[in-house]
Chains A and B, each alone.
Chain A
Amino acid sequence: RKEVEQDPGPFNVPEGATVAFNCTYSNSASQSFFWYRQDCRKEPKLLMSVYSSGNEDGRFTAQLNRASQYISLLIRDSKLSDSATYLCVVKKSGGSYIPTFGRGTSLIVHP
């Protein structure tokens, strides 16, 4: 089993839709969680950190479920500009916090 798994998609949704992605992780010692957004042939850009209590930033909501070992990203009222690949990142504790990226979930928002 991979350390961090994401459904590669693509998720094809109309503008205005609500869409959610999950990211599962296998190591229960994982401590820090993040979502990044990556546009085609560009660098990943930090979207948001994921906190234990869940957190929201505008149309984006991130949740952590430690018992089932997954994080989620919910996007409300999708815009065309949300089309991108969404990468989850999981960092283990133990001093070095080495990050493991998922392969990303592709989102396509169409008119």
Chain B
Amino acid sequence: DAGVTQSPTHLIKTRGQHVTLRCSPISGHKSVSWYQQVLGQGPQFIFQYYEKEERGRGNFPDRFSARQFPNYSSELNVNALLLGDSALYLCASSLRDLSYEQYFGPGTRLTVT
């Protein structure tokens, strides 16, 4: 069975631009969460979606938004990119809500110049 997949693997954007990152969960998993990880730190929780509804939100500005589709895949959108948005963006899937164990995808490495 395929694990969590994310695309693209790498991305370079300019300040002020917009970016969309994509994630497909493990087959049968209905929950997707997004994290930002900067070098030397642990992943920081951005959003969780379960059954296409937002179920949790971390301390990130409104420039960050996400959605989940009927097939449980998800997109993370970031508007008006800042240099500080450069990070590894990780997607994790779980069977149901966040009380379940989470499994991470390989991440998208975003560089903002």
Contacts and interface: CB of A to CB of B under 8 A. Distances in A.
Interface of A: 4, 8, 31-32, 34, 42-46, 49, 87, 91, 96-104
B97 A97 contact: yes
Contact of A99 (B102, B105, B107): B102
Contacts of B90: 43-44
Contact of B98 (A91, A103, A104): A91
B58 interface: yes
B33 to A, nearest CB: 8
A45 B104 CA distance: 7
A39 B97 CA distance: 26
Determine chain A's interface SS by DSSP, over half rule.
strand
Contacts of B99: 31-32, 91, 97
Contact of A101 (B44, B105, B106): B44
A99 B45 contact: yes
Contacts of A32: 99
Nearest to A36: B104
A98 B48 contact: yes
A99 B98 contact: yes
B41 to A, nearest CB: 5
